[in-house]
Every structure is written in structure tokens, then in C-alpha cells.
């Protein structure tokens, strides 16, 4: 049996369901194939449950430190099982909303595993059981999965991935985190707030190596002040697992031990065994090779999200999915104007630790390479009233092309994740410091810090030394 539709989407995560929703909105017939639950990693095993746990950790810290605000309370206990239940309830509500939305758009959802192959007439199709589903266009959106390191066996008990860590119903007294990227730092931060003694081991010289060096340094100071043990420039030579726990043997001949270890060394694309290469789709280290329009080496076959080289962000998947749906609709004469391709430099990045880290645009090093002459400015949150009320430390760093627009914004401090959207508009619209300086930011807000920083960079500082 063979069915034909306008668009076949393989994978129902952020990129896949965004493509399906937008394509259906544009009047295209869509079949979405997903072997698990709609929403994929982000909704069920990533972004959403992780941030729910981080919020629970923030509540624990608020109770623990409430006396400094004149509110005397007591943190009786932390129940990891109840935290998981809370996170599950958030996921459940969002999942219900998503499934209802997909149903309302009349998208055909096939709850099964699909594999790409060539139909008898040579067309690209997706096989699901005995059925071949042929689309005028096909979108590959099978996402990514946690990676490990050679010689380390993930057992889900002593050696965990982030997916296992989200389901812990009993917290360890001591835990190791292998990897100082976003996932590792977020779990390390949450566990520290929940009373776990945490050691982070990172092979590179600093945490969050993709962020500004000053941001990494400030983050490490803050995490150490909270009691976290951080070992950077520390390669792992051996992982020894016993009934009692885990010991990491490091390259400098030292060891660190804990009841369990979270392996947070990144995620790899889910592309093996799905027929991509047999159908002519070129892979490079498991990633799908695409052009600027996200089209693969096969005509009318697109790839989105974590299958494509670049930052692994759910909102990048959303943007890719929307773009590809509009590109397909344009090719099928359902949309007059071709969409604008997604640029990775326009995407904001956030690490939801305590303190939070957020950035968009270029780093100082990348800006110097791109433009040569640049200017930078750092504004300390000590001068921001709302930040003082929240008792947070941190700063805003701006990077501009000399006599040109702002090309990078980097922040660290409590709740700075809520500031990055404005920063994204600034860099995305090529705003000059004077453009932002002319906007009146409400007082007292943390958003004022962005306004103050741009005032200073425009040469007219208010609450900052000139």
C-alpha cells in the first residue's frame, strides 16, 4: 500500500512538529511519523522536565536563604520523587495541548517507527510496516540522543545520561558530573541546590567553553561559592564502577568518587539505521549534510534540528521546521515569498544554572575575526536596582562593530534568561547602541541593565562611571 501527501515528516520533536504545524497551516496535507510521543526529547526528556527540576531547586534555595530577606522559614526535606511528579505534571499539560493542536490542524499522525527508502518508481518514501508513505517533500527530524565516551557503559543506575537523571526518585549524597557544558552545568546546579555534593569534571580549560571567557570565569566562581567542586582541564583516563559507587581516574593521576556519575558529554544525531544513506542522503559524522535551504543531497528532502550541524537548541528546531515548511509551500506555489534562511548566529543560548548564562550573536573573538575593529563594554549588575533586590551578581557584556551595530550580547546573573529576547532583537535588527539607548526601559527592572549598557556604549552613561 502506498499513500501520497504533500509533506511527510519523520520525527515529532521540536523541528518535526513545527514543520508539520506550519505546513498544515499553509494548506498542505501532512503525515507525521513518530515512534514515541509528540514533543520529542525537549518536551519529555530534555528542556521542559529539566527546567521544572531547576525551578524546584530554586525554590529549595529560596527556602534555605529566606532569612536574609527577613522571612524565617525552614527547609524540612527534599523529596526527589515528588519533584519528578511535579515535572511530569508540567510535561503532561504541555503534551495534552500539543496533541490537541496537531489534531486541530488535521495532521495525520502515525505512531510507529519509519525508515526512508526509495519507492518502486524511484521516489523518496518512508516505510512504516507494510505501508509506503510518499510525500512531494520529506522532512527528516529524528533529532539526537545522549553520547558517552569510549569504555564507559551507561547502566542507568551508577552511570547515567541526562534522561536517567531526570527520573531519579532518590538523590545521592555525592554525585559526579562528567562534562561542563550546558547539560552538565544545569544538572550540577540543580543537584547542588537540592543538597547533593557535586563534582564537575571537564576536559577543557573552562566550563561552557562556547561562552565568553569572562562569563565562564564568573560562573565558576559562583558555583564554587555555592559549594561545588570543579575540575577543569581534567581528562578522564578510566571509570571504575562498583556496588558502592563510581570513581573517575583523571589524567593528572588523581581520582574523584561519588555514588553515581552523570555522563554529559554532548548529544549525537539519530541517523543510523534509518535508511538515509541508502536513499542517497549524505551524512557527515552522522549529521545530515544540507545547503542553506536545509535541503539534503536529495531533491525535496530536508533535514532540521539536531540532525544538522550547529547548536543543539529546541528553538533552532522550531525555526528550522517553520522555515522548511514555508520553503516547501513556496516550491509548491502555496506561498508567494521565499522564507529567510535561519542563521545560527541569530539564535540565543541559555544555561539555566544559578546564576543563569545567556548570550546571542558573536563572541569577542569571533567579532574581531569578522570585523577587525570592535568595541566592548561591560555593565555590572551591582548598579541595577532590581538585581540588588534579588541579591544577584553578574554583568552584561556588549560587543559592537566600531562605529557600527551591536553584534553580541552576553549576560550572567539570576533571571537573565528573560532578558535575552530583547538582546536578540538588538543583534537581529543590527541596532546601534544609540538606537537602544533611546528606548525607555521600565524601572526597576533587570531589563534596565541592557538599557544602561547601551547608554554607556553610546557615550552617555547614566548609572555607570564614564
3-state secondary structure of 284: strand
- Whether the per-residue pLDDT at 128 is higher than 80: the answer is yes
Read off the pLDDT band of 2 (50, 70, 90). low
Q: How does residue 209 score in pLDDT terms, banded at 50, 70 and 90? A: very high
Q: Is 183 assigned to a binding site?
A: yes
Gap between the Cα atoms of 381 and 386, Å rounded: 9
In which residue are the cell numbers 554525585 written?
A: 175
The reported pLDDT for the residue numbered 374 is: 98
DSSP letters, 405-458, are -EEEEEEEETTGGGTHHHHHHHHHTT--HHHHHTS---TT-TTHHHHHHHHHHT
Question: Would you name the residues annotated as active-site residues?
Answer: 443
> pTM of this prediction?
0.96
pLDDT confidence of residue 50: 98
The domain made up of 159-265 has a fold known as: FAD/NAD(P)-binding domain (3.50.50)
pLDDT tens-digit map of 73-86: 999 999 999 999 99
Annotated binding-site residue? 51: yes
| Helices 47-64/182-193 angle, 10° precision | 30
301-303/349-351 β-pairing: unpaired
Rounded Cα gap, residues 199 and 409, in angstroms? 30
pLDDT higher than threshold 90 for residue 294? yes
* Share of residues in the chain with pLDDT > 70 (%): 99
To the question of whether residue 5 is assigned a binding role by annotation, the answer is no
On whether the 355-458 domain is CATH 3.90.1150.10, my answer is no
Question: Does the annotation list 142 as a binding residue?
Answer: yes
Work out the average pLDDT over 32-48.
97
Please tell me if the domain spanning 5-145+269-332 has the same topology as the one spanning 159-265.
Answer: yes
Over residues 164-191, mean pLDDT: 98
Say whether 266 counts as a known binding-site residue. Answer: yes
Cα separation, 229 vs 253, whole angstroms: 17
- Is residue 103 annotated as involved in ligand binding? no
Neighbours of 151 (CB within 10 A): 9
Distances in Å between the alpha carbon of 410 and those of 278, 358, 364, 382, 413?
A: 43, 6, 10, 16, 11
Mean pLDDT of 419-425: 98
pLDDT of the residue at 452: 96
143 is in an annotated binding site: yes
Residue 214 cell numbers, joined: 569572562
Of 114-123, 431-440, 456-465, minimum mean pLDDT range = 456-465
pLDDT given for residue 17 in this prediction: 98
Taking the C-alpha atoms of residue 401 and residue 22, their distance in angstroms, rounded to an integer, is 36
Is 278 within 8 Å of 266 (Cβ atoms)?
Answer: no
81 is in an annotated binding site: no
**Has 182 been labeled as part of a binding site?**
yes
Percent of the chain at pLDDT exceeding 90: 96
Q: Average pLDDT of 112-120?
A: 95
Domain ranges of the chain: 5-145+269-332, 159-265, 355-458
Once rounded to an integer, what is the mean pLDDT over residues 415-420?
Answer: 97
Distance in angstroms (rounded) separating the CA atoms of residues 160 and 163: 8
Q: Tell me the three state secondary structure of residue 384.
A: coil
Q: Is 39 annotated as a binding residue?
A: no
pLDDT value at residue 465: 77
Statement: residue 466 has pLDDT above 90:
no
pLDDT in tens, 220-270: 999 999 999 999 999 999 999 999 999 999 999 999 999 999 999 999 999
Cell of 346: 541569530
Whether 211 has a binding-site annotation, put simply, is no
Per-residue pLDDT band for 463 (boundaries 50, 70, 90) equals: confident
Angstrom distance (rounded) from CA 428 to CA 347: 9
pLDDT average, residue stretch 365-389: 96
Q: CA nearest 48: which of 99, 12, 89, 102? A: 89
Instruction: Check the annotation: does 179 bind a ligand.
Output: yes
Place of cell 533552532: 316
CATH 1.20.120.1200 assigned to domain 5-145+269-332? The reply is: no
Q: Is the pLDDT of residue 161 over 70?
A: yes
pLDDT one-digit tens code per residue, 6-39? 999 999 999 999 999 999 999 999 999 999 999 9
pLDDT of residue 1 exceeding 50 = no
Please give the mean pLDDT across all residues of the chain. Answer: 96
**DSSP letter at 5?**
E
Amino acid at each position: 500500500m502506498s499513500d501520497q501527501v504533500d509533506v511527510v515528516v519523520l520525527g515529532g520533536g521540536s523541528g518535526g512538529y513545527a514543520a508539520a504545524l506550519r505546513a498544515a497551516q499553509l494548506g498542505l496535507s501532512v503525515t507525521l511519523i513518530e515512534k514515541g510521543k509528540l514533543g520529542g526529547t525537549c518536551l519529555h526528556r530534555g528542556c521542559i522536565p529539566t527546567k521544572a527540576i531547576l525551578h524546584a531547586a530554586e525554590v529549595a534555595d529560596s527556602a534555605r536563604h529566606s532569612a536574609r530577606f527577613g522571612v524565617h522559614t525552614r527547609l524540612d526535606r527534599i523529596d526527589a520523587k515528588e519533584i519528578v511528579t511535579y515535572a511530569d505534571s508540567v510535561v503532561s499539560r504541555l503534551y495534552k495541548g500539543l496533541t490537541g493542536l496537531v489534531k486541530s490542524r488535521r495532521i495525520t499522525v502515525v505512531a510507529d517507527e519509519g525508515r526512508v527508502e526509495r519507492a518502486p518508481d524511484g521516489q523518496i518514501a518512508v516505510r512504516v510496516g507494510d505501508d509506503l508513505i510518499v510525500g512531494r517533500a520529506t522532512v527528516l527530524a529524528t533529532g539526537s540522543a545522549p553520547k558517552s565516551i569510549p569504555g564507559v557503559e551507561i547502566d542507568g543506575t551508577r552511570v547515567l545520561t541526562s534522561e536517567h537523571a531526570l527520573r531519579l526518585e532518590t538523590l545521592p549524597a555525592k554525585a559526579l558530573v562528567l562534562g561542563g557544558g550546558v547539560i552538565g552545568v544545569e544538572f550540577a546546579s540543580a543537584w547542588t541546590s537540592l543538597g547533593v555534593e557535586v563534582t564537575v569534571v571537564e576536559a577543557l580549560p573552562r566550563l561552557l567553553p562556547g561562552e565568553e571567557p569572562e562569563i565562564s570565569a564568573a560562573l565558576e566562581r559562583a558555583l564554587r561559592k555555592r559549594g561545588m567542586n570543579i575540575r577543569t582541564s581534567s581528562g578522564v583516563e578510566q571509570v571504575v564502577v562498583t556496588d558502592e559507587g563510581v570513581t573517575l581516574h583523571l589524567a593528572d593521576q588523581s581520582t574523584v568518587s561519588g555514588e553515581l556519575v552523570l555522563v554529559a558529554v554532548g548529544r549525537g544525531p539519530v541517523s543510523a539505521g534509518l535508511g538515509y544513506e541508502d536513499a542517497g542522503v549524505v551524512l557527515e559524522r552522522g549529521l545530515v549534510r544540507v545547503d542553506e535551504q536545509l535541503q539534503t543531497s536529495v531533491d525535496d528532502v530536508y533535514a532540521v534540528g539536531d540532525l544538522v550541524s550547529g547548536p543543539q537548541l529546541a528553538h533552532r528546531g522550531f525555526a528550522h521546521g517553520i522555515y522548511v515548511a514555508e520553503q516547501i509551500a513556496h516550491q509548491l506555489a502555496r506561498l508567494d515569498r521565499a522564507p529567510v534562511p535561519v542563521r545560527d548566529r541569530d539564535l540565543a543560548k541559555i544555561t539555566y544554572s544559578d546564576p543563569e548564562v545567556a548570550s546571542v550573536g558573536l563572541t569577542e573573538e569571533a567579532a574581531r575575526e569578522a570585523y577587525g575593529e570592535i568595541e566592548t563594554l561591560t555593565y555590572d549588575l551591582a548598579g541595577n536596582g532590581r538585581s540588588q533586590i534579588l541579591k544577584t551578581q553578574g554583568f552584561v557584556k556588549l560587543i559592537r562593530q566600531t562605529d557600527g551595530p551591536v553584534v553580541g550580547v552576553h549576560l550572567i546573573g539570576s533571571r537573565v534568561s528573560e532578558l535575552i529576547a530583547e538582546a536578540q532583537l538588538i543583534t537581529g535588527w543590527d541596532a546601534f547602541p544609540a538606537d537602544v539607548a533611546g528606548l525607555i526601559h521600565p524601572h526597576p527592572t533587570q531589563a534596565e541593565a541592557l538599557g544602561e549598557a547601551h547608554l554607556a556604549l553610546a557615550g552617555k552613561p547614566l548609572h555607570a562611571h564614564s
